[in-house]
Structure formats: structure tokens, C-alpha cells
Structure 1
Amino acid sequence: MFGDPITNSKNIHQVPLGELCKLKAGKFIKAAQISDYNKGNMYPCYGGNGLRGYVEEYTHNGSYPLIGRQGALCGNVQFAEDKFYATEHAIVTRPTLEIDVIWLYIMLREMNLNRLATGAAQPGLNVGNLVELQVMHPPLSLQVEFAKKFKEIENQKRAIEDSLKLLEDNYNSLMQRAFKGQLF
């Protein structure tokens, strides 16, 4: 719908990413405070490589694309919703203009931000460079249309995954009964 976001193959109006959204790293948290499991009333904790675990407090509430800032997978883009904690290794993108956050998430994901990483031993992204990065800024109506189609596809994907899980469960049940001689 928008072409290649890196080359801007459809010549869509571009602006620096810093005009579309405010980019800010999350907050430090000790590793000992992060649990591998949600023990009830805990919040997802996102680091530079995605979900790190669960914590008892949150730093953000809403829907935000997150950009991994450090590590081999820096530049990866996650989507966090509701209440969550963002560590200092995740950059929270808070829109400053009226834009669709789903569109922003997919656009950032498709931009292969890892290509902008610097450093060999511990690659990282410089927020200053990201702020200046030229990105497409199509009309809001097209962003919303794209987000609607994306959500429809995601819902269809979930329905297929649920059907596959049910099919697998039924198959395993039949195989167990066949092995025990209960089918014939």
C-alpha cells in the first residue's frame, strides 16, 4: 500500500521520525525485579529484545511501538499495549502528531532499523540518529485504512492458529486412543 519504506518507492511525503513521535528510552530496573512468570497483577516488561518478563510496576499505559536500543537484535520493533514497563534498552515511541499507532508500528518494523546500528561488540541505536531518520507520513485516512486491514488479517491468523491447535489436540487424542486399541 505504501511501497518500500526505506527507499520510499511511492514518493510519499516524508518527515523526520522526531516530528512524528517523541523517542525516549525506558527506565532502569534491576534484573532481580523481573519475573519469568506473571504471578498475578504483574505487568509485561520490555527490554531491547522484546518481552523480558513481568514486574510489579509499570512505566507506561497505552499503545506504543517500542524499538530495541541495544544488543544483537537492536532495531527490532515490538508493540506494547495497556500497562507495561519499558527498560532503558527499549525506546518508547510516543506520537506527537495525529497518527495511527498500528501503522507507525508496522512502518517502523519494515524499516529494518538494525541497519542503523553502530558498534561491533555491543551494537546499539543512537536516539539522535533515529530522530533525524526520514520516514513516510501518508495522510491519516490511509494509515487508518491500513491499520484496519492489518487487524483483520491478524484476527484471521489467530482464528487459523486456534483451529490448528484444536486439530492437533483432536489428532493427538485419536492417536492415543488408537494406540490403546480403543478405536477398533
Structure 2
Amino acid sequence: MKAGWETKRLGEIIQLEYGKPLADSDRNPNGLYPAYGANGIKDRTDKFYKGEPSIIVGRKGSAGEVTLTEEKYWPLDVTFFVEFDRAKYELQYLYFLLLTLNLPSMAKGVKPGINRNDVYDITVATPDIEEQRRIVTLLDEAFADIATAKANAEKNLQNARELFSNQLSLALIPSGPDWVETTVGETCTLKSGTTVPISIERPDGEIPYVKVAEMSMPENAEGICTSIRFLDRSDVKNGWLIPAGAVIFPKRGGAILTNKKRLVLREMCADLNIMSVIPSEVLTPEFLYFYFLNVDMRVLGTGSSIPQINNYDIAPLKISFPKSKEKQVELTEMLRSIEAECHSLEAIYRQKLTALDDLKKSLLHQAFSGQL
């Protein structure tokens, strides 16, 4: 341990005091002061319980999450607020220290909660207040630079996503008399999934039985080819089958908001929460898939308390495509190439964001092991 640092139980440095209930009548979305829940500002109020800045530690729910408060605030009853000797300890230093302790890992129970006595038993090393202030200054400067770099990486990540979206929209604009303009209902067959008896589901077999969750399997990222449940062909009725070449998407509930679509790569069945669109002979499956990538399902799935997409939402959608299937293939190959390049860019920026998070953790570790 670095000279001048002392090892203590955290309970000798801070006290975790219980937050207080705030009556509904005292809550005001335009209130002067923040009311903190377990994971940040939950509400606002014109009253404050504490008149100086401190640290909130989630007690229930988002237990162990750490938030730095504004000067005057109200700590709600799902929180602890931190009290400490301000002559010996720097607020920002204690905030950074608590961030390094991974307090959420101490949560227990069905509704996760942390016991403050468990927190008090953690042993930490701390320097005098002047060294604390020096460390805080270094971390503040480094974290400001990291925040700027993260903002740039996030912006670049968003730009990469928008680049493909823009190119997709441009590629689907009719560009001459050799394009057909019609509707999805006139060009495709719409088919919803069906509920099958659990007794005929198998862990493997000939026909994948796909639910919305299976659309997110890594193996299905490029198109539906498998599932965690299967059906024997002898158990499958003709009306259940969705052919290879169809495009599927969630049709009910919150899953619509994921805006997820998949091309079907092998004959399959789907449950009732999935809709399929089966192209006619005039459309290539890939072209139909890219067409639906350009359709925002979140706009269609409105109008009721539970979002739902029906045939009458999809059938009237206008669709344009080249009469020549060779031209459709040419367009989709170009789009696949652009999509791959954009995905590569996204991967680079996601890696950079991960590296910046790792750098922040590394700096905190160095700071609280006396290496800064």
C-alpha cells in the first residue's frame, strides 16, 4: 500500500442513512428539487430533505447503484444517502470509491436489496484529504476526455446506422419505366403463425418452430435457420408451414418496437405472435426482405393498448420493384455489400466504446490502489 494511506472498514468512513417516503401530494414534475430513487432522479418536489450534495446508494430495486446528488434533494425510501466527515473526506472521492466496489453484486432477494452492514464490512484504503483532491482532479480530467471520446464514438455509431438506412431508402426509389408500383397485398401472401400443442414440440427435428425470442438467436442473425424447438413433419398441418423466402416479423406486443425482421432460410412454423409475408414469383425474397427493412413497424403497431399488426396494416403498403428479377438481385447484392461495410463500422465503434469503458474502470482501479 502507498505510504500515507490507511486501511479501514467502510463503516468507519461513511454512514448509509435510510431515505424517506415522499407523499404524492408533495411530488411535482416541475419541482425545484430532485427526488432520487435507487437509480437516479425519480421525481421532483418543492421540498428538500438534505441541503448539501451527497451520494445516493440504491437500497431496493436497482440496489447498489451509485448516484451523485445535486446540492438540495430528497432521498426516497428505496435509497440510502451517504453521511461522512467532510473535513476528512472529499465527496467526489467517496463517489468514485463507491463506484469501484461493485455494490450491485451484493444485492440479495427476489426484489434485490442490499444490507448496509455488508457494505460497512468492506475494507478500503484511503489517503488524506489533499491526496483525495489530487486524485479527484486527475480523474475528473481523464473522465471528461473519455466522455468526449464516447460521445464522438456514439455519434459515429449512429452515423454508420443512418448511412445504411439512407442508402436503403435511395435504392428502393423507382428509377424508370421498368419498375412496377403496386401494394404488398397484391404481390405477396400474408400469413400469421399458429399455436401448436406443446405435446408435439421436440428439442430437434425437421421443422423449426419459431417464436419471437428465437428471432434474436445469434444463429438467426442473417436469417431464420434454426430454433430451440422443432416439429416432426408428420405432425405439421399444411396450413402451418411458412416457406423459405418469406419475411417474418413480430406482430403483437412490445416486440413490435424492436422493428425486427428476418428472412426465412428454411421451411418453418411460427407461433401466433409472428406474421410472415410470402413473395410471389415476381419478387425475389431478398428484395422483399430489404423492402421490409425500410418499413417502420413501430408506426404500424398502434391504435390499441396492446400494439398489434394486422393484415390490413400490411396489405395496403405500397411497394415498388424492378420488373427484372436480375435487376432485383443486382440491387440486393449492392445493399448486402453496403450493409456489411456499415456493420463493420458499427463493430469498430462498439469496440471503441467498450475500450473507453474499460479505460475508465482501469483508471478507477489505479486511483484506489495508490497508482495514480
TM-score by length of 2: 0.37
Figure out how many residues of one structure are paired with residues of the other and give that number.
155
Q: Is the 8 A contact 2:49 2:73 kept in 1?
A: yes
Task: Report 1:30-109 matches (<5 A).
Answer: 30-31=23-24, 33-35=26-28, 37=29, 39=30, 42-71=32-61, 73-96=62-85, 98-109=88-99
Tell which has more relative contact order, 1 or 2 (C-alpha 8 A, sep 6+): 1
Query: Which residue of structure 2 lines up, in the alignment, with residue 182 of structure 1?
Result: none
Output the CA distance in 1 between the equivalents of 2:65 and 2:141: 23
Shift in Å at residue 142 of structure 1?
2.2
Output the CA distance in 2 between the equivalents of 1:44 and 1:25: 17
Query: Which residue of structure 1 lines up, in the alignment, with residue 172 of structure 2?
Result: none
Could you list the per-position Cα deviations for residues 80-125 of structure 1 after superposition, in whole angstroms to 9, with x for gaps in the alignment?
0211111121111111261111110011011101121121x11101
Output the CA distance in 1 between the equivalents of 2:121 and 2:25: 36
Q: Is the 8 A contact 2:56 2:69 kept in 1?
A: yes
Output the CA distance in 2 between the equivalents of 1:54 and 1:153: 31
Percent of pairs identical after alignment?
23
Output the CA distance in 1 between the equivalents of 2:69 and 2:42: 12
The one-letter amino acid of 1:25's match is Y
The one-letter amino acid of 1:58's match is F
Shift in Å at residue 146 of structure 1?
1.2
Output the CA distance in 2 between the equivalents of 1:149 and 1:61: 28
TM-score by length of 1: 0.71
After superposition, the Cα gap between the structure-2 partners of 1:99 and 1:155, relative to the gap in structure 1 and judged at 3 Å, is same
Higher helix share: 2
Query: Which residue of structure 2 lines up, in the alignment, with residue 152 of structure 1?
Result: 141
Computing the radius of gyration over CA atoms, which structure comes out larger, 1 or 2? 2
Output the CA distance in 1 between the equivalents of 2:135 and 2:54: 17
Output the CA distance in 2 between the equivalents of 1:157 and 1:57: 35
Shift in Å at residue 47 of structure 1?
1.2
Q: Is the 8 A contact 1:47 1:86 kept in 2?
A: yes
CA RMSD of aligned residues (A): 2.9
User: Gaps spanning 5+ residues in structure 2: where?
Assistant: 159-372
1:125 to 114, 134, 141: 114
Shift in Å at residue 45 of structure 1?
0.6
Query: Which residue of structure 2 lines up, in the alignment, with residue 29 of structure 1?
Result: 22
Could you list the per-position Cα deviations for residues 119-141 of structure 1 after superposition, in whole angstroms to 9, with x for gaps in the alignment?
1x111011222222222222322
Could you list the per-position Cα deviations for residues 158-179 of structure 1 after superposition, in whole angstroms to 9, with x for gaps in the alignment?
76759x99xx9xxxxxxxxxxx
Secondary structure in structure 2 of the residue aligned to 1:61:
coil
